[in-house]
Amino acid sequence: MTDTYKSELAFVNRFTRALPADKIAENYCRQVHGAAYSRAIPARVNNPQILTLNESLAIELGLAALLDDRQALAQVLGGNSLLAGMDPYAMAYGGHQFGNWAGQLGDGRAINLGELTDLQNKHWTLQLKGAGPTPYSRHADGRAVLRSSLREYLCSEAMFNLGVPTTRALSLVTTGDRVVRDMFYDGNPQAELGAIVCRVSPSFIRFGNFELPASRGDNDLLRNLLNFVIEADWEDLAIKLKSSVSDKATTDVYLEWFQRVCRLTQTMVVQWMRVGFVHGVMNTDNMSTLGLTIDYGPYGWVDDYNPDWTPNTTDAANRRYRFGNQAAIARWNLYQLANAIYPVVQDAETLQQILNNLPSEYEMEFADMMRLKLGFTHTSSCPVSLIDDLKKLLCLHATDMTLFFRLLSGFVPEDSDCHLPELLRPAFYDIHEMSLETMRSYQDWETRYRDGLLQDSCDQQQRKLLMNSINPAFVPRNYLAQQAIDAAEAGDMSIFSFLLNTLEKPYQDPSAANAHLAAKRPQWAANKAGCSMLSCSS
């Protein structure tokens, strides 16, 4: 039995009001047909305790009145209590996982508590991850553990402060229960600390929400879902949709929506590449229709620049979701979305044309982003060949990506005694092993880079400010997150709190107190579990 508390919050719950619900009320694993969701109540936990709370986000959401009673708030954020107006549910969706159609997936361990409007009348859905089983749990327990929950909270907030489109984290709660997980998939499961993250997003709708009804030929649900998404998230398109007087006019709205999803998705990937983030599980059920980074599973941060690196042990053999392949996978996923909405859109030619334009559009946006990372303000001063050659250069010797671009802002093209190999020395791993051939390649690239900057007519101070506003000093490196997890599991949240506070200002120059968080990965962490690659186990 779940308690319900009175609340002054305005829960609007548009998703559950507009779309069909599962007709079966019981919570057991099954195939759900003809429904966008199943109602699901979070399972009770033994002793919910708030480990960390995003108070600024809570205030923004209009939750300020709830902050005074942390004990009662813990009951809500731990799933034991509901606020009046909440309408909990788990979404039905399918997806392609590692390139293969997986059929029905759905919210197997996530329960949406409800949708509210904030002080600026923006819509936000609150979702508990790790809140217990749903009809989509596929015989799993629907729970999450502290290590993965802490990583999700840390990374989603770091991404927000880095300026990368993302879902947010409101709270991290321990449950007082133990959850059994086989972290390495080696037949040695262990009981770990249970935890729940409250995630916040304007929408949690994914590509897979459209794929599931399309795979079943349920075109009525598919159309209803498409209309709902447009009306809920795209005010200008919603006006066009309501005023459509012909099938062609309606189709044009659908096509414009798809084109916008494509652009948002590619922009998100460009921002991932900018900061060195690797999602690790770019399945279609993990792709947001709003172009938000969603579902922080075995993600990772590139230490030494390596386009072939993946953080996911499940992906170690094929490296489908490797760093340098993320744009291609995003396009592949958008193809699947196009296939899913085709039964409603019925315009294969225009859908294909939109998809055909994606590679060149991405390359243009990526090049513009890289020019800013390099300090250029004029496109003509930085040819694409300079960017392409830099990507090859970074692969010649293990080089810390974050440090490389941050240090690059100190390059003074007017100073003939300023040279990149010396300036960038702190970014190189095993500097004494750098070959003479690589050193010459740096010198050759430096000459072209210097010439380009001198043509760009931007003074050094302006250039440094520009570069340091786009190239972070701090990112949540894998080994730093693991250190925070190890301490948290031992009852010490100080390391996590210090790291989180630092990541709130990722573009700020390091101080004596936090300089160690901006250093390159230590050798001991190169292959240590949790510090390099991760499994899908949570």
Q: Residue 215: which H helix or E strand, with range?
A: helix 207-215
Distance (Å, whole) CA 269 – CA 272: 5
Tell me if 48 sits within 8 A of 176, measured CB to CB. Answer: yes
One-letter identity of residue 307: P
Residues 6 or more apart whose CB falls under 8 angstroms from that of 528 comprise 479, 482
Return the pLDDT at 162.
98
Residue (of 402, 443, 437) closest to 422 by Cα position = 443
Residues 6 or more apart whose CB falls under 8 angstroms from that of 153 comprise 52, 169, 171, 172, 197
Residue (of 519, 501, 478, 402) closest to 151 by Cα position = 478
DSSP state of 534: B
Helix (H/G/I), strand (E/B), else coil: 128: strand
Return the pLDDT at 538.
46
Tell me if 204 sits within 8 A of 174, measured CB to CB. Answer: no
Distance (Å, whole) CA 183 – CA 167: 25
Count how many Cα atoms sit within 13 Å of the Cα of residue 520 in the half-sphere of its side chain. Answer: 23
Q: Which residues are catalytic?
A: 285
Q: Residue 340: which H helix or E strand, with range?
A: helix 326-345
Residue (of 474, 479, 493) closest to 521 by Cα position = 479
Return the pLDDT at 4.
66
pLDDT tens readout for residues 87-107: 999 999 999 999 999 999 999
Q: What is the DSSP string of 152-209?
A: HHHHHHHHHHHT--B-EEEEEEEEEEEEEE-TTSSS--EEEEEEEEEEEES---BHHH
Q: pLDDT under 50 in the chain at which residues?
A: 1, 538
Tell me if 152 sits within 8 A of 281, measured CB to CB. Answer: no
Return the pLDDT at 536.
65
Tell me if 511 sits within 8 A of 290, measured CB to CB. Answer: no
Helix (H/G/I), strand (E/B), else coil: 367: helix
- Backbone phi and psi for residue 427, each to the nearest 5 degrees, phi listed first: -90, -15
Which token pair is 276? 């060195």
Residue (of 27, 80, 76) closest to 53 by Cα position = 76
Return the pLDDT at 290.
98
Distance (Å, whole) CA 335 – CA 322: 19
Query: pTM above 0.85?
Result: yes
Which token pair is 76? 């809500």
**Angle ∠(37,38,42) on CA atoms, nearest 5:** 120
94 pairs with which residues across the strands?
A: 104
Instruction: Please give the distance of CA 164 from its chain centroid, rounded to a whole number.
Output: 8
One-letter identity of residue 34: G
